[in-house]
Amino acid sequence: MSKKQTYSIGELAREFDVTTRTIRFYEDQNLVNPARRGQTRVYSPADRVTLKLILRGKRLGFSLAESRELIQMYQPSGDNRNQLLALQDKIQQRRDQLNQQLRDIQALQQELDDADQRCEDALTALEKPDHV
């Protein structure tokens, strides 16, 4: 049972390599809402997960608004039918976007491989100016 139950803002900042300003900014945007002990913020494991999701979103080029939406998707409130259907629609849109990103990444990987190969060729050409 070594799992910490709470975190300070500094701990999280170090773990995720962001500034405390960034974490406070996310709170301002209602992305996390830590408890307080006096003035001091006290973060729960849930807050930590939320942070992780936001940063993953950033790596994929999502705005904070988009990440917020994604996070909310994970908690379908005991909603009404229409809201659930709307949610499924958004989920499908995200899936489409992710598939597009996958295709983009694969194309880019191929091009990087080619570029790397051209580097290799140029380097060996430097070693042997002629076919010795």
Contact footprint for a copy of itself (CB under 8 A) = 56, 58-62, 70, 73-74, 76, 78-81, 84-85, 87-88, 91-92, 94-95, 98, 100-102, 104-105, 107-109, 111-112, 114-116, 118-120, 122-123, 126
Contact 74, 88 (CB under 8 A): no
Between the alpha carbon of residue 34 and those of residues 3, 48, 55, 75, 80, the distances in Å are 18, 10, 17, 18, 29
**Could you tell me which stretch among 21-29, 74-82, 103-111, 115-123 binds DNA (CB under 7 A)?**
21-29
CB of 22 to a copy of itself, least distance (A): 17
Binding characters for DNA, 98-117, by CB under 7 A (x = yes) = --------------------
The helix or strand, by DSSP H or E, that contains position 37, with its residue range, turns out to be strand 35-37
Contact 9, 24 (CB under 8 A): yes
Cα 71 to its chain centre, rounded Å, is 11
* Residue 73 binding partner per list a copy of itself, DNA, none, with a CB distance cut-off of 5 to 8 Å that depends on partner kind: a copy of itself
